[in-house]
Homo-oligomer: A and B are copies of this chain.
Amino acid sequence: MLLCYFQLPDLQQYLIVMKGYPIMTKLNVSNTSRRTFLKGASLTVGSAALSGLLVACGSSTTNAPTAPTSDSHDMTAMPATAGGGMTADQMDAMHEAGVKAFVGGVKTVGTGNQPLTPRIEKGVKIFELTCKKTPFEVTAGQMVDALTYNGQVPGPEIRVTEGDTVRVVVTNALADQSTAIHFHGVMVPNKMDGVPFVTQPPIKPGQTFTYEFVAKNPGSHMYHAHHNSTMQVGQGLLGAFIIEPKDKAADPKYDLEHTLILNDQLGGFTINGKGFPATAALTAKLGQKLRIRYMNEGQMIHPMHLHGLPQLVFAKDGWNLPQPYKCDTINVAPGERWDVIVDCTEVGVWAFHCHILAHAESAQGMYGMVTALIIQ
């Protein structure tokens, strides 16, 4: 048994197992493979941590089928050659199961991006964040040990209004790592910029650090770790930081909004921390105008394609464009935010996914960066 675990510079991490010869299995997103590997390798690393890293993994053709699990991608009736050895009906059944699970709603542990209500003292909006390791379920059965703000992935949504004085009190409850927060896109005084040894000392385990600044530039921004960030952001230390404009007339009119935080590290390809079918659908009523705030906290581009209806792109990184333009596929790069308006002119369940198809569908069905806009 030879194991090779390596990390590509785009931070995708791969596990490859080569056992005997010849091994010629198509490695795909398949829990059969994952579990076979985990069992065979007697890893001391927990399955949860691994599943967050494991994107593509192959199994030996000589491995016996493994026991059922609760993972929606684990189709225990499937032979190790899943994807190659299926009949059309078998494959369709797996696809249908995923869609049904999504429509029915998948219960998973942990919900991110929940609004955080500030405490107000002398006019200052005070938000408290605690960094800690928290079990988090990416999709049914796929538990990961996340690094979280207040137990959430993504961290709680911080929302203020232009001109507000904002105080963010950060406590580091991680056991073994310092941290710091960078308010990505927010124009802060330099000493509030969150870069250890450049603008502040790192926040050691057990310590608390207070950021304070006036929210100057409205728009869709982010906050995330800026220390060992490839790992810390990758494992969950990220969230939305939204500054509402004082004068809303500068933005297009909209009736409701959704924030979609894209990621590709913890637990694979996710929207707001969850992989399909555990992703939440966006809902709207016919005739409504929906604002979507895209934020990419991952390491790869994600060209998000909404079926059926165009997206009016009107802001980049929180700055309104001089002239909005329409598209149906918006390429969101790491660190970018894009704001769009969808005019909900047609009822139905509209698929909505990353158009790097490998981020969205395998032979076993849709997974990862897939959700839907449901217009009623």
**8 A Cβ contacts from A1-57 to B:** 1-14, 16, 18, 21-28, 41-45, 55-56
Complex formed: what's the CA distance from A301 to B336 in Å?
13
Does any Cβ of B come within 8 Å of A130's Cβ?
no
**8 A Cβ contacts from A330-366 to B:** 331, 333-336, 346-351, 355-363
Chain B hits for A4, CB < 8 A: 4, 16, 18, 23, 58
Chain B hits for A3, CB < 8 A: 18, 21-24
Chain B hits for A360, CB < 8 A: 229-230
Instruction: Tell whether, in the assembled complex, residue A228 and residue B363 are in contact, meaning their CB atoms are under 8 Å apart.
Output: yes
Contact with B along A75-91 (1 / 0, CB 8 A): 00000000100111101
User: Taking the full assembly, how many copies of this chain does it contain?
Assistant: 3
**8 A Cβ contacts from A174-208 to B:** 174, 176-178, 182, 184-185, 187-191, 193, 195-199, 202, 204-205
Nearest chain B residue, comparing its CB with the CB of A226:
B351
Which of B23, B88, B356 is within 8 Å of A2, CB to CB?
B23
Instruction: Tell whether, in the assembled complex, residue B348 and residue A190 are in contact, meaning their CB atoms are under 8 Å apart.
Output: yes
24 contacting pairs across A/B (C-beta < 8 A)? A2-B21, A4-B4, A5-B27, A6-B58, A7-B27, A7-B358, A8-B14, A8-B56, A9-B56, A11-B356, A11-B357, A88-B178, A89-B204, A91-B178, A92-B196, A188-B308, A195-B351, A198-B372, A228-B361, A229-B360, A231-B363, A233-B357, A303-B336, A305-B335
Does any Cβ of B come within 8 Å of A125's Cβ?
no
Instruction: Tell whether, in the assembled complex, residue A22 and residue B1 are in contact, meaning their CB atoms are under 8 Å apart.
Output: yes
Chain B hits for A176, CB < 8 A: 86-88
Chain B hits for A23, CB < 8 A: 2-5
Complex formed: what's the CA distance from A187 to B319 in Å?
29
Chain B hits for A162, CB < 8 A: none
Chain B hits for A171, CB < 8 A: none
**Least Cβ distance of A229 to chain B in Å?**
5
**Smallest CB-CB A-B distances: 3 pairs:** A190-B348, A335-B355, A11-B358
Instruction: Tell whether, in the assembled complex, residue A234 and residue B357 are in contact, meaning their CB atoms are under 8 Å apart.
Output: yes
Does any Cβ of B come within 8 Å of A329's Cβ?
yes
Chain B hits for A327, CB < 8 A: 316-317, 319, 336
Instruction: Tell whether, in the assembled complex, residue B319 and residue A310 are in contact, meaning their CB atoms are under 8 Å apart.
Output: yes
Does any Cβ of B come within 8 Å of A307's Cβ?
yes
**Least Cβ distance of A122 to chain B in Å?**
25
Instruction: Tell whether, in the assembled complex, residue A92 and residue B178 are in contact, meaning their CB atoms are under 8 Å apart.
Output: yes
Complex formed: what's the CA distance from A267 to B111 in Å?
41
Which of B89, B323, B325, B361 is within 8 Å of A229, CB to CB?
B361
Nearest chain B residue, comparing its CB with the CB of A365:
B228
Which of B10, B22, B269, B359 is within 8 Å of A356, CB to CB?
B10
Instruction: Tell whether, in the assembled complex, residue B43 and residue A24 are in contact, meaning their CB atoms are under 8 Å apart.
Output: yes
Chain B hits for A212, CB < 8 A: none
Instruction: Tell whether, in the assembled complex, residue A177 and residue B305 are in contact, meaning their CB atoms are under 8 Å apart.
Output: no
Chain B hits for A10, CB < 8 A: 300, 356, 358
Does any Cβ of B come within 8 Å of A326's Cβ?
yes
Instruction: Tell whether, in the assembled complex, residue B355 and residue A6 are in contact, meaning their CB atoms are under 8 Å apart.
Output: no
Does any Cβ of B come within 8 Å of A217's Cβ?
yes
Complex formed: what's the CA distance from A323 to B191 in Å?
33
Which of B41, B187, B309 is within 8 Å of A22, CB to CB?
B41
Chain B hits for A89, CB < 8 A: 204
